[in-house]
């Protein structure tokens, strides 16, 4: 980290101020070459002056200075607050570059903060989550993790495993001393306990993901059952084309709405049927393919036409994938009572969830449908200011991997293996937990994480 980096830290648009950040050992030198003021720059101070380049006055600015190691990156940092015009901001950045700084890569300030021990990896990831947060809840969770809530838990879990390993190693490596050899079965309760605690954190991911990304929901069903009509009603405007011609929707139509305290990412799909029309066929294939990414499927049946073999085929596909789904019977305004009873009976016999009855045309049953979705995914009773919630897939995957190793350690005990074999898996579990906070990560992982940051952070 011998270079001094710079980037614009604010969004480039006309605004009150823009900030150009400079980090590295030459920060102060560079600024002193272009900044003229009646006062001297002191650490932790911000002073007023002007940027002058080759004798030309450029802008009135405020410059702050943070001396290493007491700064965001742990290096010397200067920040120039200039007027927030696109041109002047870019010009000052150019001048800083001409005077010896190099352009920072996305996330490089935070990467340096991590490498200099100013924050751990999960905290750095919380920074990007805070920047990208779309809801208040998401911001609170990111802020908690930035404060180190996740780090603290991971550290304490890891320390307990390391302590156990130390006890085992002492008893194995120094038998001449009077340490009792650790009996393999004696470590099982602690391991089981840790696996449970980690699983508890993993379980928060489902809610965390909903808070962060919303609920992905697909409206599926045969052609002409009213899928696009339902999308339009939920969205409150005519997003998708609706006609009485089966096969109207060809490609996936997406819309995002707020429901309860989360976001619904709705995909209206092409009605599923066997067709020779090549474009419609591709649409039908897409409808089935997107199931992979869905948290919920609304399966629509046209009550007027009744339920068919194809409906059951698709419903059983949804069930086999273990997806959450709601069966919806639409066009209740046109559905006769006996026909409805027949459909209800058939659904019951096939073990399919009890349907919600709606008529998009008459706007009936829609609120009931919404309530049902809210109840399925509601996170309002979540105490996110106290509870630890994870929203990063990387964290979830590593936590699950560490549970896997703990379970392997328990298996070795059950197989009657000696304690030093058991210890190998405990070590792997602790190493895996370490990757979450960046204690045991490769350069590749670090680069991948910081690439996702924006420029200037
Ligand atoms: N009577 C009645 N007609 C409805 C209702 N909902 C939708 N329709 C009509 O059914 C027809 C088909 O509606 P769409 O929303 O285009 O159906 P779709 O499922 O998207 O059809 P595809 O895109 O072809 O798969 C249109 O003429 C709608 O006006 C309803 O609740 N009652
Ligand atoms: Mg449609």
The answer to whether residues 273 and 176 belong to one domain is no
The answer to whether residues 337 and 357 belong to one domain is yes
Residue 209: pLDDT over 90: no
- Greater model confidence, 387 or 34: 34
CATH number at residue 69: 3.30.1360.120
The answer to whether residues 366 and 261 belong to one domain is yes
The answer to whether residues 372 and 238 belong to one domain is yes
Q: Reading across the β-sheet that carries 102-103, which strands appear in turn?
A: 35-36, 45-53, 56-66, 77-84, 15-23, 5-8, 102-103
**pLDDT, position 452:** 81
Q: What is the pLDDT of residues 143-170, one digit of tens each?
A: 999 999 999 999 999 999 999 998 888 7
CATH number at residue 261: 3.40.50.300
Which residue CA neighbors atom 11 of ligand 1 most closely?
244
Which residue CA neighbors atom 12 of ligand 1 most closely?
224
**pLDDT, position 449:** 85
Structural domain contains residue 446: no
Distance 234 CA to ligand 1 centre (A): 14
Distance 217 CA to ligand 2 centre (A): 15
**Averaged pLDDT, 34-46:** 96
Structural domain contains residue 257: yes
Give the number of the ligand closest to the Cα of residue 225.
Answer: 1
The answer to whether residues 231 and 83 belong to one domain is no
**pLDDT, position 385:** 65
The CB of 284 under 6 Å from ligand 1? The reply is: no
Residue 405: pLDDT over 80: yes
The answer to whether residues 83 and 175 belong to one domain is no
Residue 182: pLDDT over 90: no
Distance 227 CA to ligand 2 centre (A): 5
Q: Is the pTM of this model over 0.85?
A: no
Cα(114)–Cα(232) distance, integer angstroms = 46
Structural domain contains residue 161: yes
The answer to whether residues 325 and 419 belong to one domain is no
**pLDDT, position 283:** 78
Owning domain of residue 97: 5-107
Q: pLDDT-based confidence at 430, cuts 50/70/90? A: very high
The answer to whether residues 347 and 241 belong to one domain is yes
Give the number of the ligand closest to the Cα of residue 222.
Answer: 1
The answer to whether residues 12 and 35 belong to one domain is yes
The answer to whether residues 186 and 246 belong to one domain is no
The CB of 14 under 6 Å from ligand 1? The reply is: no
CATH number at residue 192: 1.20.120.430
Alpha carbon 398 to chain centroid distance? 15
The CB of 333 under 6 Å from ligand 1? The reply is: yes
The CB of 302 under 6 Å from ligand 1? The reply is: no
Cα(431)–Cα(157) distance, integer angstroms = 11
**pLDDT, position 124:** 93
Contact call for residues 199 and 251 (beta carbons, < 8 A): no
What are phi and psi for residue 308, nearest 5 degrees?
Answer: -125, 175
Number of structural domains (the chain) is 3
Distance 265 CA to ligand 1 centre (A): 21
Structural domain contains residue 454: no
Residue 440: pLDDT over 90: no
Share of the chain above pLDDT 90, in %: 73
The CB of 228 under 6 Å from ligand 1? The reply is: yes
Residue 379: pLDDT over 80: no
Contact call for residues 122 and 145 (beta carbons, < 8 A): yes
> Mutation test of ligand 1: which of 221, 242, 286, 369 has the most ligand atoms closer than 8 Å to its C-beta?
242
Q: What is the pLDDT of residues 291-307, one digit of tens each?
A: 888 999 999 999 999 99
Minimum-distance ligand 1 atom for the alpha carbon of 225: 19
Residue 178: pLDDT over 70: no
> Mutation test of ligand 1: which of 226, 328, 359, 362 has the most ligand atoms closer than 8 Å to its C-beta?
226
Average pLDDT, the chain: 92
Contact call for residues 93 and 53 (beta carbons, < 8 A): no
Cα(64)–Cα(45) distance, integer angstroms = 6
Which residue CA neighbors atom 13 of ligand 1 most closely?
226
H-helix or E-strand spanning residue 266: strand 262-268
Q: What is the pLDDT of residues 223-236, one digit of tens each?
A: 999 999 999 999 99
**Averaged pLDDT, 245-261:** 90
Structural domain contains residue 266: yes
**pLDDT, position 443:** 86
Q: What is the pLDDT of residues 67-85, one digit of tens each?
A: 999 999 999 999 999 999 9
**pLDDT, position 179:** 62
Which residue CA neighbors atom 14 of ligand 1 most closely?
226
The CB of 229 under 6 Å from ligand 1? The reply is: yes
């Amino acid at each position: 980290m011998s270079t001094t980096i710079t980037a614009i830290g604010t969004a480039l648009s006309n605004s009150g101020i823009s900030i150009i950040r400079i980090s590295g050992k030459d920060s102060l030198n560079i600024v002193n070459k272009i900044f003229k003021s009646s006062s001297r720059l002191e650490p932790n101070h911000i002073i007023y002056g002007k940027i002058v380049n080759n004798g030309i006055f450029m802008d009135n600015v405020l410059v702050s200075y943070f001396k290493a190691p007491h700064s965001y990156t742990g290096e010397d940092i200067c920040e120039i607050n200039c007027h927030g015009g696109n041109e002047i901001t870019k010009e000052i950045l150019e001048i800083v570059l001409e005077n010896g700084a190099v352009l920072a890569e996305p996330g490089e300030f935070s990467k340096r903060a991590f490498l200099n021990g100013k924050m751990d990896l999960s905290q750095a990831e919380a920074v990007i989550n805070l920047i990208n947060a779309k809801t208040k809840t998401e911001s609170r969770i990111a802020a908690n993790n930035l404060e180190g809530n996740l780090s603290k838990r991971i550290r304490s879990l890891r320390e307990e495993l390391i302590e156990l390993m130390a006890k085992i190693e002492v008893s194995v490596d120094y038998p001449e001393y009077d340490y009792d050899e650790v009996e393999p079965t004696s470590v099982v309760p602690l391991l089981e306990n840790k696996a449970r605690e980690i699983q508890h954190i993993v379980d928060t991911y489902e809610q965390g993901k909903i808070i962060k990304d919303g609920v992905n929901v697909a409206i599926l069903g045969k052609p002409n059952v009213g899928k696009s009509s339902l999308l339009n009603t939920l969205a409150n405007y005519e997003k998708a084309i609706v006609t009485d011609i089966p096969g109207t929707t060809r490609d996936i139509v997406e819309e995002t709405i707020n429901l309860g305290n989360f976001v619904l990412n709705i995909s209206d799909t092409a009605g599923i049927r066997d067709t020779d029309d090549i474009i419609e066929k591709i649409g039908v294939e897409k409808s089935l393919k997107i199931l992979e990414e869905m948290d919920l499927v609304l399966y629509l049946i046209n009550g007027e036409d009744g339920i068919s073999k194809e409906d059951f085929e698709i419903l059983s596909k949804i069930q086999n994938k273990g997806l959450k789904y709601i069966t919806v019977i639409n066009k209740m305004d046109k559905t006769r009572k006996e026909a409805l009873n027949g459909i209800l009976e058939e659904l019951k016999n096939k073990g399919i969830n009890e349907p919600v009855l709606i008529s998009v045309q008459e706007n009936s049953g829609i609120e009931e449908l919404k309530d049902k979705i809210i109840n399925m995914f509601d996170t309002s009773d979540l105490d996110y200011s106290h509870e630890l919630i994870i929203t990063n897939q990387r964290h979830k995957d590593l936590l699950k991997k560490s549970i896997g190793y703990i379970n392997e350690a328990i298996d070795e005990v059950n197989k009657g293996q000696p304690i030093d074999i058991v210890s190998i898996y405990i070590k792997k579990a602790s190493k895996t937990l370490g990757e979450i906070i960046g204690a045991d990560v490769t350069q590749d992982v670090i680069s991948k994480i910081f690439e996702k940051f924006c420029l200037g952070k």
